C-alpha cells in the first residue's frame, strides 16, 4: 500500500497546532504533507489578529520543520484547475469560497487527499477528502 500524500486545510492545520494527537500520528505516516499557500495565508492572518502571534508562528514553523511539510504554490496549471472547478460549481449552483477553490485546485493538480472539516469540499466529487 502506498503511503498517503495529503494537504491540510486551515481547520485541520489549526487542529495540528492545538496538539491533535490522532492527526499528528496520521501525519507521521504520510509520505508527503503539504500546506497550500492559501492555507498558510489564512492561518497567518489568524495569527496576526490573535493574542498569541509569536507562539503560534513558532508552533507553525516547528510543525513545518518536523513534518518536512512543503508549501504548495500555485502556477498556470493550478489556474486551469481553478477555472474548471469554478465553472463546475457555478453550473451546479454550489459555489464555495474562493480560497477553498484554490486549495482544491492545488490538491487536484498534485493528486493529494485534502484533510478538512469543511463539508463544502464534498461538492467536488473528483477531490479526495477526509
CATH number (domain holding residue 104): 3.40.50.1010
Q: Is residue 67 part of a domain?
A: yes
Torsion sign across C-alpha atoms 5, 118, 61, 42: positive
Query: Is a pLDDT exceeding 80 seen at residue 59?
Result: yes
Query: Is a pLDDT exceeding 70 seen at residue 2?
Result: no
Helix (H, G, I), strand (E, B) or coil at 129: strand
CA distance 77 to 64: 25
Q: Is residue 130 part of a domain?
A: no
* Element at 8 (helix H, strand E): strand 5-8
Q: Residues near 13 by Cβ (< 8 Å), separated by ≥ 6?
A: 35, 39, 43, 60, 63
The total domain count for the chain is 1
CA distance 62 to 17: 10
Lowest mean pLDDT of 42-46, 63-67, 118-122, name the range.
63-67
pTM of the model as a whole: 0.92
Phi-psi region at 93: left, alpha or beta (left = phi > 0; alpha = psi -120 to 50): left
Q: Is residue 129 part of a domain?
A: no
Length of the chain: 130
Q: Provide the domain limits for residue 113.
A: 5-123
Tell me the mean pLDDT in the region 20-25: 90
Q: Is residue 85 part of a domain?
A: yes
Q: Is residue 43 part of a domain?
A: yes
Task: Compute the mean pLDDT over every residue in the chain, rounded to the nearest whole number.
Answer: 93
Model pLDDT, residue 50: 79
Query: Is a pLDDT exceeding 60 seen at residue 24?
Result: yes
Residue 92 DSSP code: T
Amino acid at each position: 500500500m502506498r503511503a498517503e500524500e495529503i494537504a491540510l486545510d486551515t481547520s485541520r492545520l489549526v487542529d495540528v497546532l492545538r496538539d491533535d494527537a490522532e492527526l499528528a500520528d496520521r501525519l507521521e505516516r504520510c509520505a508527503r504533507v503539504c500546506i497550500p499557500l492559501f492555507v498558510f495565508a489564512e492561518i497567518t492572518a489568524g495569527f496576526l489578529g490573535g493574542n498569541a502571534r509569536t507562539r503560534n508562528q513558532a508552533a507553525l514553523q516547528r510543525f513545518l520543520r518536523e513534518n518536512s511539510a512543503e508549501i504548495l504554490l500555485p502556477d498556470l496549471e493550478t489556474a486551469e484547475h481553478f477555472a474548471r472547478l469554478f465553472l463546475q460549481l457555478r453550473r451546479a449552483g454550489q459555489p464555495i469560497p474562493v480560497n477553498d477553490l484554490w486549495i482544491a485546485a492545488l490538491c487536484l493538480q498534485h493528486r493529494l487527499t485534502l484533510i478538512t472539516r469543511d463539508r463544502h469540499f464534498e461538492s467536488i466529487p473528483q477531490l479526495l477528502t477526509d
